[in-house]
Amino acid sequence: MAAPARPTPALTASAPSDPRLRWVQQVARLMDSQFQLPGTKFRFGLDPLLGLLPVVGELGTFAISGALILTMARHGASRKVIILMVINVLLDTVVGSIPIIGNLFDFAYKSNERNVRLLQRHYLEGRHQGRGTGIVVVLAVGLLVAFGLLAWALWKVLLWLWKYGEQHWTL
């Protein structure tokens, strides 16, 4: 006999009842607005600080944001909300990877807190319909395919450069 399914707890605007959703809010705050510039209302988190590290910083914040999205998807975010969250994170990652401009952008654009607000609005509107894991799987497979194609294209370019160098560059 199968065990009864546990209902997914609802997220309210003030405080979520599930510790994993509280974790999402805490990590989003840590990444986007944990610290305050003294004497101002300007807040920032680890995201823009990690973004100062070339490549590794943006990939690290992308991974953390991805974990937050997966957790939110497991707690009933709809496909539309998940897609909006992924767009927020991709925008943050792509623009954030541009030297100097991206660093400034990271201080202003707080994708993780935007995603938490999207999820809260989704619950407050009563649109919670269950898990959004299916769309996350589709997006993950799509991103893996895109990454694979990018790696293949990079490999082809490197091979072409190698052959070109052998023919035209002499020491």
Q: Sorting pLDDT into bands at 50, 70 and 90, what band is 78?
A: confident
Which whole number is the average pLDDT over 115-127? 79
Q: What single-letter DSSP state applies at residue 125?
A: T
Query: What is the distance, to the nearest Å, from the Cα of residue 42 to the centroid of all Cα atoms in its chain?
Result: 22
Q: Mean pLDDT throughout 82-108?
A: 86
Helix ranges (H only) for 51-132 are 56-74, 79-96, 101-108, 111-124
Task: Flag whether the pTM goes above 0.85.
Answer: no
Question: Could you tell me what percent of the chain has a pLDDT over 70?
Answer: 81
Q: Where in the chain are the domains?
A: 19-133
Helices 133-168, 79-96: crossing angle, 10 deg rounding: 30
How would residue 12 be classed by pLDDT, with cut points 50, 70 and 90?
A: very low
Share of the chain above pLDDT 90, in %: 12
Q: How far apart are CA 126 and CA 161, in angstroms?
A: 56
Q: What is the pLDDT of residues 33-50, one digit of tens each?
A: 999 989 999 999 988 888
Comparing 59-63, 71-75, 114-118, 130-134, the range with the smallest average pLDDT is 130-134
Q: What is the pLDDT of residue 113?
A: 92
What are the CA-CA distances from residue 33 to residues 11, 84, 96, 149 (Å)? 21, 21, 16, 35
Residues 6 or more apart from 52 whose CB is under 8 A from it?
103
Report the pLDDT value the prediction gives residue 129, as an integer from 0 to 100.
Answer: 57
